């Protein structure tokens, strides 16, 4: 991880305040393979104007710094088991680990399952994505088909985390999950298979 942070250097610090505009992308298809690594939108990703039902001790500046860092990598290619010493490709957990480290010096675990444990150990989590705060991490189970019954409470209670994403607010998340999807991108949650697969979310700050 030290090698990664050194790569950012002085040039990275000068550019840290730049916020890149999200690229349009297609909705995640039901056939997308789960990412244990580790919808379309070009709308703005500014904070929600309505009050969130969740609670957070993280400062707004920390959250916005992390999101701005993540937005810099829109379109960066996906690679399962990506090299943690470079930002040329990411899988889901590498992407989250990279942006938290570079933006705020927070060293998260290397895989999504342990990142989920880390968030749970930080404090309260929510199983309703609508209660999450901007900048929270979201954890998901594997895709099990289109039927809602495949994602019932009894199934989710024993499901393993296979994917992680960053919540942007307004029903949008920043993530990467497959080569075919175009790498790092913004997706909608409501009414998608991501909503069915969602396990819990919370702050890593």
The per-residue pLDDT for range 90-123, each reduced to its tens digit, is 999 999 999 999 999 999 999 999 999 999 999 8
Answer for the pair 189, 173: CB distance below 8 angstroms, yes or no. yes
In CATH, what number does 35-40+56-202 get? Answer: 3.90.1720.10
Percentage helix, strand, coil, to 5, in the chain?
30, 15, 55
DSSP letter (8 states) at residue 28: P
The per-residue pLDDT for range 8-59, each reduced to its tens digit, is 343 443 343 333 333 333 333 333 444 544 433 333 444 443 333 344 456 8
Distances (CA, A) of 171 to 2, 4, 132, 152, 192: 34, 31, 10, 21, 11
Domain ranges of the chain: 35-40+56-202
pTM of the model: 0.74
């Amino acid at each position: 991880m030290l090698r990664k942070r050194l790569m950012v250097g002085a040039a990275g610090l000068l550019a840290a305040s730049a916020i890149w505009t999200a690229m349009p992308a297609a909705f995640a298809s039901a056939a997308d393979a789960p990412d244990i690594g580790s919808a379309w939108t070009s709308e703005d990703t500014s904070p929600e104007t309505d009050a969130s039902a969740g609670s957070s001790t993280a400062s707004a500046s920390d959250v916005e710094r992390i999101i701005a860092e993540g937005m810099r990598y829109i379109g960066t290619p996906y690679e399962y088991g990506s090299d943690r010493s470079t930002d040329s490709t990411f899988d889901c957990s590498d992407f989250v680990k990279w942006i938290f480290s570079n933006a705020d010096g927070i060293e998260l675990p290397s895989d999504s399952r342990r990142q989920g444990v880390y968030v749970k150990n930080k404090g309260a989590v929510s199983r309703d994505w609508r209660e999450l705060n901007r900048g929270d991490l979201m954890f998901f189970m594997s895709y099990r088909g289109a039927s809602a019954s495949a994602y019932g409470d009894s199934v989710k209670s024993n499901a393993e985390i296979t994917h992680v994403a960053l919540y942007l607010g307004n029903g949008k998340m920043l993530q990467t999950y497959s080569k075919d999807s175009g790498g790092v991108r913004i997706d909608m949650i409501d009414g998608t298979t991501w909503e069915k697969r969602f396990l819990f979310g919370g702050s890593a700050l």
